Amino acid sequence: MYKLNLTVFPVLILSCLLFSELGYAAVTAESLVNRLDDFRGFRDRGFTFDITNISYKKEKEPRTNKLSVKVFNEQSLIQFMAPAREKGRAMLRENANMWLYIPGTRRVIRIAPSQRLIGETSNGDVVGANFSKDYKAELKGQEIVEGEIYWILQLSASTSGVAYEKVNVWMSQSADNRPFKAEFYTRSGRLLKTAYYKEFKHYEGELKLHKLLLVDALVEDSHTWMKFDDYRFENLDPAIFQKGSLGRLN
């Protein structure tokens, strides 16, 4: 008759505990937040990519806009390509400041990252957040979701002028640490929306975010798809990232 060796169980439990401790030792909040930033861009060089936003609301026709985004270090320039009524508009992030230019006016309007652009997409969502610079990162634990283990990374705003006060991100414990979802909170602690990272693609030899689903936590049946495409390196003229240049882009 087969005899159960009870001495095996303490060894297995100890092995699991050691594996968990080794996992925490190998992964830090800093490494995860840097990895999170990597999915939205390239470090220390200019690049361009495109965004398509499609907003869905209950009993309303979907709304779409298309943007062309240019990024270098802490500066981002967003040009509106569609719909036709918005073509020619431009948005600039110049360090901690954000500006909006509308054709036919001579004014450049200061805007906030938290303002809605379309649907659940905010101005800050399209210019991109520099989480490693603007937030304090803390590893809060781990959670199993649909059979996969995720790190839970908590990001707390460390600078003013960011779109969200707190962000919780679930990042895979697999080799590429790709994010699964993120929750975005206000200063009062209210959940604004949840983002689901649905698809990734390789551009310029690196894995980047391709499709993101934003679900409104306050309005039922309201969500927005963001499609990021055609990431490419580009030598960008520093002059385009100046407030005074916004009216001369076209």
Q: In degrees rounded to 5, what are phi and psi of residue 167?
A: -135, 130
CA distance 214 to 226: 8
| pLDDT above 70 for 173 | yes
CB atoms within 10 A of CB 222: 18
CB atoms within 10 A of CB 117: 23
CA 124 – CA 128 distance, rounded (Å)? 6
Query: What confidence tens digit (pLDDT) does each residue in 106-152 have?
Result: 789 999 999 999 999 999 999 877 899 999 999 999 999 999 999 99
- As a dihedral over the C-alpha atoms of residue 166, residue 48, residue 91, residue 159, rounded to 10 degrees, the angle is 30
* H-helix segments, 4-151: 8-26, 29-38, 123-127, 131-134
Exposed/middle/buried for 34, CB within 10 Å: 0-12, 13-18, 19+? middle
195 φ, ψ (degrees, to nearest 5)? -105, 135
Domain boundaries, the chain: 31-248
pLDDT at 100 over 70: yes
- Output the DSSP codes for 84-118: GGGTT-EEEEETTEEEEE-TT-S-EEE--TTSEEE
Do residues 191 and 183 touch, judged by C-beta distance below 8 A?
yes
pLDDT for 17-70, tens place per residue? Answer: 344 444 555 789 999 999 999 999 998 899 999 999 999 999 999 999 999 999
Q: Report the pLDDT averaged over residues 139-166.
A: 95
pLDDT tier at 94 (50, 70, 90 boundaries)?
confident
pLDDT of 161 reads 82
Range from 56-65, 92-101, 241-250 that averages highest in pLDDT? 56-65
Provide the pLDDT confidence category of residue 250 given band limits of 50, 70 and 90: low
| Whether pLDDT at 12 is above 60 | no
Task: Please compute the mean of the pLDDT values over residues 168-175 and round it to a whole number.
Answer: 96
Angstrom distance (rounded) from CA 54 to CA 139: 33
**pLDDT score recorded for residue 205:** 96
Distances from the Cα of 59 to the Cαs of 54, 124, 220, in angstroms?
Answer: 15, 27, 11
pTM > 0.85: yes
Contact in structure between 209 and 69 (CB atoms under 8 Å): no
Q: What is the pLDDT of residues 179-238, one digit of tens each?
A: 999 999 999 999 999 999 999 999 999 999 999 999 999 999 999 999 999 999 999 999
Write down the pLDDT at residue 73: 86
CB 98 within 8 A of CB 91: yes
* Listed residue (135, 124, 79) closest to 102, CA to CA: 79
Question: CB neighbours of 96 closer than 8 A, spacing ≥ 6?
Answer: 159, 160, 161
CATH node for 31-248: 2.50.20.10
**Cβ–Cβ under 8 Å, residues 215 and 55:** no
The band of 6, judged by pLDDT with boundaries at 50, 70 and 90, is very low
Task: Map tokens 């967003």 to a residue.
Answer: 78
